Amino acid sequence: MDNHKVIDGQFATKRVSQEGQEQEWIAQAKQGSQQAFFHLYEKHHKKIYALCWRMLADKDSAEDVCQEVFVVLWQKISNFRGESKFSTWLHSVATNVVLGHLRKQKNWLQRVFSIEDQGAGQESLQEASVELTDNSTLDELDKHISQLPERARLVFVLFAIEGYRHEEIAKMLKMAVGSSKSQYHRARTLLREWLSESDMVMGEITDES
C-alpha cells in the first residue's frame, strides 16, 4: 500500500514536471525559439498526424497537412493564453487546418474540372472513399474508418475520437445538428457491419444427407 503511494507520488511529480517543461517550451516558442518549438513538435506530432490521417484517410495528404498544422501553430502560438490545455488548443487548430484543406481541395477540383453540376460534384466528392497507399500496419478499425464516406468519417472522428459535441461539429462542417447525428449513426452502422464481416469465425455444422 505504502509502495503504491510512493509510485503514485512519483508519477504525479513527473507529470507536473512534464507540464512545467511544456509551459517553458511554449513560452520560449512564443519568443521565437525554434528549438523549443521542435520539442513541442516532438511531443505532439504523432497525435496530430493521427488526427490528420483519420480525417483525410490519405497518408500523403495527412503528412502535408500535419506540416501545415505546425506552420500555422508557429504563427499562432502567441494567441495561446493557457485558458485550456495546450493539447486541446492544438487539436482545435489542427481540426480547423484539416477542414480548411478539405475545402480548398474541393474548390480546386471544381475549378480544374469545371464541374457543371455542383450538387452532383459535391456528392461524388463526399461519397468517395479513398484507397490508402499502405494500410498494412493499421488497426482494423482504422482501415474501416478510412473507407467511410467523407462526411460520415469526419463526424465520426470528431465526435467519437476527438470528443467534440454535435453542435460544435455541425458548426464546423456547416451542417444541421440533426445531420451530424445521422451521419454519426450511419458511420457506426457501417463500421459495425464491416467489423462483423472481418471478424468472421470458423464454425462447424453437421450435414445429415
Partner 1 sequence: MSHNKEKLSVVLPLKVSEEVLSGRVANLSSEMKPERDLWSGIEHAINQKIQQPVNNQTKSNVVPVAWAASFIAAVLISWLTFSPQMQQKSQQELSASITEKPEATEQLVTFMQQNFQQQKKAMLVSFGQPNLTQLPQAMQQELAQLAAARKSIRQALLKDNNNVDLLNLLDFTQQQELKLLTQLYRQYQVI
**Residues 97 and 65 sit within 8 Å (Cβ to Cβ):** yes
Of residues 171 through 190, those in contact with partner 1 by CB under 8 A are: 188
Return the number of the residue (171 or 185) whose C-beta is nearest partner 1.
Answer: 185
- Counting contacts by CB under 8 A, is residue 197 touching partner 1? yes
Q: Minimum Å distance from CB 158 to partner 1?
A: 13
- Counting contacts by CB under 8 A, is residue 59 touching partner 1? yes
**98: Cβ–Cβ under 8 A, 6 or more apart, which residues?**
51, 52, 55, 56, 65, 69
For residue 112, give Cα distances in angstroms to 46, 82, 92, 127, 190: 33, 42, 30, 19, 32
Return the number of the residue (66 or 93) whose C-beta is nearest partner 1.
Answer: 66
Task: Write the single-letter amino acid at 25.
Answer: W
**Residues 80 and 26 sit within 8 Å (Cβ to Cβ):** yes
Residue ranges binding partner 1 (CB under 8 A):
34, 37-38, 41, 45-47, 49-50, 53, 59, 62-64, 66-68, 70-71, 74-75, 104-105, 108, 111-112, 134, 139, 141-142, 160-161, 188, 191-192, 195-197, 199-209
